[in-house]
Amino acid sequence: MKIAVLGAGAMGSLFGARLSPLADVWLVDPWAAHIQAMQRDGLRLVKLNGTESVIPVQATTDPAAVGDQVDLAIIFVKSHQTASVARWAGPLLKPDGLVLTLQNGLGNLEAIASVLGPDCGVQGVTAHGATLMAPGRVRHAGQGETHIATRPSIVARLTDIAALFQQAGFETHLSDNLDSLLWGKLIINVAINALTATLRVPNGLLAEVEPARSLMAAAVDEAVRVAQARGITLPYDDPQEQAKSVAIATGPNRSSMLSDVSRGAPTEIDVINNAIVREGASLGIPTPVNQTLVWLIKAIEATYSVERNL
């Protein structure tokens, strides 16, 4: 199978590292220092047990270098880049090729469909986590299940893709309940990302420090009300307990939104907490805690250039 990983940051590098020994995989990313490091030295993957291995990978900043068309493009950029990367994917895809997003938040599949039409996009969610340590070096930060939403017309191709992921060590399941998958992950991101980014703390602190725990619970409560009003069945019984246990299980990890604000990069607030605010507004459900988190993160983004050593 030929695969292009579009966006080879933390998660693209993790999936690229695991899939490269099993398939014809290309990592495509505009970050030249990272691509050059992988071309020169291979991709260094720090595993969950702390050991490090070097994996030879095919990496490029130029989508045209991928050559023959691919069976699968996996999109792993941040959400504000999804539509522009879908434009890269178009010419790279075989006529029956698929574009899989395992990104967080609402709206990525719609962004892919707005560029490539409704037929080739596939939504998944993954509980794996990764952190970029340096150009060419990624740390596998956490593991869990990967779910891919299927439909009858593409089930055979997705079965092959799931088998390959499984072989690469990603426990993968096909599901026909896209909303449940997406909202199940969204509520965890609502709980953890914006709060860790505003407080500048690793995930576990949210469960340890009482006022942070209350804020997390309030943000989750609003999101669950919105999900319920939309008729979504979440993939777990107790969202509050789920959010707390994920924060504890991923305790030392830095969320991707914390990594974004630490390096002055745009965050995914619009597809996470702001998605709850938008959906809540359309359903008449108040979401003041999520609205406050959105304003805080947007204020942080708007003041990246301000000196912090006051």
Which residues are known to be catalytic?
185
Burial of residue 88 (CB within 10 Å: 0-12, 13-18, 19+) is buried
Nearer to ligand NAD, 68 or 185 (CB): 185
Q: Per the structure block, which two tokens stand in for 239? A: 């969202």
- State yes or no: residue 63 binds ligand NAD (CB under 6 A): no
Nearer to ligand NAD, 31 or 295 (CB): 31
Residue 28 CA, chain-centre distance (Å), reads 16
Cβ–Cβ < 8 Å for 168, 146: no
Among 2, 4, 5, 9, binds ligand NAD (CB under 6 A): 9
Spatial neighbors of 4 by CB under 8 A, at least 6 apart, are 25, 26, 28, 63, 66, 70, 72, 73, 74, 89, 92
The least CB distance from residue 153 to ligand NAD, in Å, is 26
CA distance 86 to 105: 17
- State yes or no: residue 37 binds ligand NAD (CB under 6 A): no
- Phi, psi values for residue 214, rounded to 5°: -65, -40
Among 2, 4, 5, 7, binds ligand NAD (CB under 6 A): 7
The least CB distance from residue 258 to ligand NAD, in Å, is 10
- State yes or no: residue 246 binds ligand NAD (CB under 6 A): no
Residue nearest to ligand NAD (CB): 9
Q: Is 230 strand, coil or helix?
A: coil
Nearer to ligand NAD, 31 or 225 (CB): 31
- State yes or no: residue 77 binds ligand NAD (CB under 6 A): yes
Nearer to ligand NAD, 104 or 242 (CB): 104
Nearer to ligand NAD, 133 or 281 (CB): 133
Site string for ligand NAD, 172-211 (x = CB under 6 A): ----------------------------------------
Stretch that binds ligand NAD, among 7-15, 109-117, 170-178, 232-240 (CB under 6 A): 7-15
The least CB distance from residue 130 to ligand NAD, in Å, is 5
- State yes or no: residue 139 binds ligand NAD (CB under 6 A): no
Among 15, 26, 76, 170, binds ligand NAD (CB under 6 A): 76
- State yes or no: residue 107 binds ligand NAD (CB under 6 A): no
Question: Locate tokens 């490029």: which residue?
Answer: 60
CA distance 300 to 9: 22
Strand ranges of the sheet holding 43-46, from the earlier edge strand across to the other edge: 52-55, 43-46, 137-142, 129-134
Question: Locate tokens 């209350």: which residue?
Answer: 214
Spatial neighbors of 116 by CB under 8 A, at least 6 apart, are 86, 89, 90, 93, 99
- Name which of residues 159 to 178 contact ligand NAD (CB under 6 A): none
The least CB distance from residue 160 to ligand NAD, in Å, is 23
- State yes or no: residue 34 binds ligand NAD (CB under 6 A): yes
Question: Locate tokens 């959906």: which residue?
Answer: 279
Stretch that binds ligand NAD, among 8-16, 66-74, 114-122, 162-170 (CB under 6 A): 8-16
Spatial neighbors of 229 by CB under 8 A, at least 6 apart, are 283, 285
Amino acid at 139: R
Question: Which residues of this protein are in contact with ligand NAD, per CB under 6 A?
Answer: 7-12, 29, 31, 34, 76-79, 103-104, 126, 129-130, 132, 141, 256, 263, 268
